[in-house]
Amino acid sequence: MSRIRERLEALRRTGRKGFIPYLTAGDPDLETTARLIRALEEAGADVIELGIPFSDPIADGPIIQRAAERALRRGTRLRDCLDIIADVRRHSDIPIVLFSYLNPLLQFGLPRLAREMAVVGIDGVLATDLVPEEAEEFRQAMGAQGIETIFLVAPTSPDERIATIARSASGFIYVVSRTGVTGTREQLSEAMRPTVERVRRHTDLPVAVGFGISRPEHVREIWRYADAAVVGSALVQQIERHAGEPDLVERVARFAQWLKTGAAETPD
Enumerate the active-site residues: 49, 60
φ, ψ for residue 33 (rounded to 5)? -60, -45
Residue 145: which of 166, 120, 169 has the closest Cα? 120
Q: How many CB atoms lie within 10 A of CB 31?
A: 11
Strand ranges in the chain using DSSP code E only, listed in sequence order = 18-24, 48-51, 96-100, 124-127, 148-149, 151-153, 173-176, 207-210, 228-231
* Cβ atoms of 147 and 124 closer than 8 Å: yes
Q: Whole-angstrom Cα distance, residue 196 to residue 202?
A: 10
Strand 124-127's sheet: what is its strand order?
148-149, 124-127, 96-100, 48-51, 18-24, 228-231, 207-210, 173-176, 151-153
Residue type, position 150, single letter: I
